[in-house]
Copies of this chain bind each other. A is one copy, B any other.
Amino acid sequence: MSELKAQMDQLGKAAKAAAQDLALAPAEAKNNALKAAAQAMRAQLPTILEANKKDMAAAEAKGISSAMLDRLALDPDRIEAMAKGLEAIAAFPDPVGKSLESWEQPNGLKFEKVSVPLGVIGIIYESRPNVTADAGALCLKAGNASILRGGSESFHSSGAILTCLQIGLESAGLPIAAIQRVPTTDRAAVGHLLTMNDYVDLIIPRGGRGLIERIQTESRVPVLAHLDGLCHTYLHKSADPKMALEVVLNAKMRRTGVCGATETLLVDDAFADDDLKPILKRLIAKGCEIRGDTAIQALDKRINKAVEADWDTEYLDAIISIRKVNGLIDAIAHINRHGSHHTEAIITEDSSAAAAFQQEVDAGIVIHNASTQFADGGQFGMGAEIGISTGKLHARGPVGANQLTSYKYLVRGNGHARP
């Protein structure tokens, strides 16, 4: 066995033991750990900034893009936001030990379904160092031990943040192995993590499609994946034009790099061109490139031609593809064919059209008369989220602390023997 494999096994064993303790830890201990970790972050501000400086210097030397540098950068405000994030998670109701359902059978046997932690969760993510804090904290809140593996660019920053989390765990009397990280940037470590099904119960990857698909293919541990957010907004013939304008602008342009951003706008043939033109104009005025089908292109000379690939592209940028559709059924068919089952929206004043759309569109989140950018655990009232699951197993849509739990059945009898 290679040294790295032995080291990873050690990590896994420690995580499993910690998970057994955490499963029985009272809510107060977990919350105290989170609050103490937030305090530690404030106290260790200079150390975290110092570590981040190292990462930034190395990243600049490697010539990575300015967008990635921005994701990597920490400053006192971002560190305070991380600390506040930990405190917000601490304030959230405990997801473990909740009575989810209870009933009694005619023979007098009583049944109760109670939430329990999942066990050990491996989180694989790219360069944002704040994920170290968010992911570790959410797993802890749900009673799970975590093994974190961040992008190599953020190695020092993540290490400094992890130290704060472990200070919090220790001060609350919880095992520090409750939150660990892969202690090397060696890529082979990920390969080991994905086969440690004796110790790891779930892998959650965050990042680009390439990373996630590689993990889904290689992993022997179940994967909860957040794939693309190829979101659509559909303007039904009965859409209120003023609402359509405001919602579409927000859905596309509020932030273009988030997974809930609308990438394709579908416009009903019966939606008036005179109501559509101001939307196109405002998008262009805001710096959005429009790629349209022939009918859309006819409305403004600045609109580029959409090619077939546009209907399958998540731009994550100030680009939108727009096409006309022939009614509700056509819109739903386009979405179910090209969408990524993430978040889809209809704008309409017709409640039966809205109901049909919400029933027939196959996506984790289906919205009527609001921006697709509400696709976010915080906006759902779930507190922090670790991502948005695009699969249908275990958890679909935003994954917060409640979604990081399983359940068990407690059965209570009075000497019942089964006939």
User: A interface vs B, CB < 8 Å?
Assistant: 20, 23-24, 97, 103, 105, 109, 111, 116, 118-119, 201-202, 217, 220, 222, 240, 242-243, 246-247, 249-251, 254, 336, 354, 358-360, 362-371, 373-374, 379-381, 391-394, 396-397, 406-418
Query: Which of B23, B363, B418 contacts A373 (CB under 8 A)?
Result: B418
- Say whether B368 contacts A418, CB under 8 Å: no
What chain B residues lie within 8 Å of A251 (beta carbons)? 417
- Say whether B392 contacts A396, CB under 8 Å: no
9 closest A-B pairs by beta carbon, nearest first, are A370-B413, A250-B417, A392-B406, A370-B416, A243-B415, A394-B394, A373-B418, A367-B411, A369-B413
- Say whether B380 contacts A111, CB under 8 Å: yes
What chain B residues lie within 8 Å of A369 (beta carbons)? 412-416
What chain B residues lie within 8 Å of A374 (beta carbons)? 109, 411, 413, 416, 418
User: In the complex, A365→B406 CA distance in Å?
Assistant: 12
Q: What distance in Å separates the Cβ of A133 from its nearest Cβ neighbour in chain B?
A: 24
Cβ-closest chain B residue relative to A407: B396
- Say whether A411 contacts B24, CB under 8 Å: no
- Say whether A360 contacts B411, CB under 8 Å: no
Knowing A105-B379, A368-B411, A380-B409 are in contact, say whether A393-B250 is a contact too (CB < 8 A). no
- Say whether A413 contacts B24, CB under 8 Å: no
Cβ-closest chain B residue relative to A108: B370
Query: Which of B217, B240, B396, B409 contacts A406 (CB under 8 A)?
Result: B396
What chain B residues lie within 8 Å of A418 (beta carbons)? 250, 254, 371, 373-374, 379
What chain B residues lie within 8 Å of A413 (beta carbons)? 367-371, 374
Q: A217-B220, A371-B416, A374-B413 are in contact. List 10 more A-B contacts (CB 8 A).
A: A103-B381, A105-B381, A109-B370, A222-B222, A222-B393, A369-B413, A369-B416, A370-B415, A392-B406, A393-B394
Cβ-closest chain B residue relative to A389: B406
Knowing A201-B392, A359-B24, A381-B103 are in contact, say whether A364-B409 is a contact too (CB < 8 A). yes
Q: What distance in Å separates the Cβ of A410 from its nearest Cβ neighbour in chain B?
A: 5
User: In the complex, A360→B370 CA distance in Å?
Assistant: 44
Query: Which of B246, B394, B416 contacts A417 (CB under 8 A)?
Result: B246
User: In the complex, A116→B359 CA distance in Å?
Assistant: 9
Q: What distance in Å separates the Cβ of A155 from its nearest Cβ neighbour in chain B?
A: 30
- Say whether A363 contacts B393, CB under 8 Å: no
What chain B residues lie within 8 Å of A360 (beta carbons)? 24
Q: What distance in Å separates the Cβ of A18 from its nearest Cβ neighbour in chain B?
A: 14
- Say whether B408 contacts A396, CB under 8 Å: yes
Q: What distance in Å separates the Cβ of A88 from its nearest Cβ neighbour in chain B?
A: 16
Cβ-closest chain B residue relative to A398: B409
What chain B residues lie within 8 Å of A370 (beta carbons)? 109, 411-417
- Say whether B362 contacts A23, CB under 8 Å: yes
Query: Which of B111, B379, B394 contacts A109 (CB under 8 A)?
Result: B379
Cβ-closest chain B residue relative to A412: B368
What chain B residues lie within 8 Å of A366 (beta carbons)? 408-411
User: In the complex, A23→B368 CA distance in Å?
Assistant: 20
Cβ-closest chain B residue relative to A369: B413
Q: What distance in Å separates the Cβ of A98 from its nearest Cβ neighbour in chain B?
A: 13
What chain B residues lie within 8 Å of A116 (beta carbons)? 362, 392
Cβ-closest chain B residue relative to A364: B408
What chain B residues lie within 8 Å of A250 (beta carbons)? 417-418
Knowing A381-B103, A417-B254, A418-B374 are in contact, say whether A119-B409 is a contact too (CB < 8 A). no
- Say whether B394 contacts A240, CB under 8 Å: no
User: In the complex, A397→B20 CA distance in Å?
Assistant: 20
What chain B residues lie within 8 Å of A23 (beta carbons)? 362
User: In the complex, A407→B364 CA distance in Å?
Assistant: 7
Point out which of A202, A250, A380, A410 has the most chain B C-beta atoms below 10 A from its C-beta: A410
